[in-house]
Amino acid sequence: MIFMASQTPIPPPVAPKTRPPEDDGGSVVAEKQLQRTKPPQMYQVVMLNDDYTPMEFVVVVIQEFFNKDRETATQIMLKIHLDGKGICGVYPRDIAATKVQQVQEAARQAGHPLQCVSEPAD
């Protein structure tokens, strides 16, 4: 079955072209200013000392999750052991939270009470 229009379609009306009014010299033009985004707030991942987690386990965790070499990981572990806490790395908030979760999950699976927190970096 074929349907035919009884009338030819009418095109939509076209708006008349208008020119902007002439500039009288008193106009004010706002200049576009560059907006710079601030860098994200950084958070430090801090491992806390306890009397039960083996030092070697702490070194391995630092190497694995914070990509530190053995010597640097050992220095961080000794700082944690002697000062009660040590900074393992500084990251944006989401990455720091993920690192904390990874460390706590690894410690839980190994049966150690190792604690790790993130706090805003100064």
CA distances from 22 to 16, 75, 121 (A): 18, 73, 56
What lies within 8 Å, CB to CB, of 33 at 6+ separation is none
Q: What is the DSSP letter of 120?
A: E
- State residue 7's pLDDT score: 74
Low-confidence ranges of the chain (pLDDT < 50): none
- State residue 32's pLDDT score: 77
What lies within 8 Å, CB to CB, of 69 at 6+ separation is 63
- State residue 113's pLDDT score: 97
- State residue 11's pLDDT score: 80
- State residue 42's pLDDT score: 97
CA distances from 114 to 87, 88, 90, 105 (A): 14, 14, 19, 10
- State residue 2's pLDDT score: 63
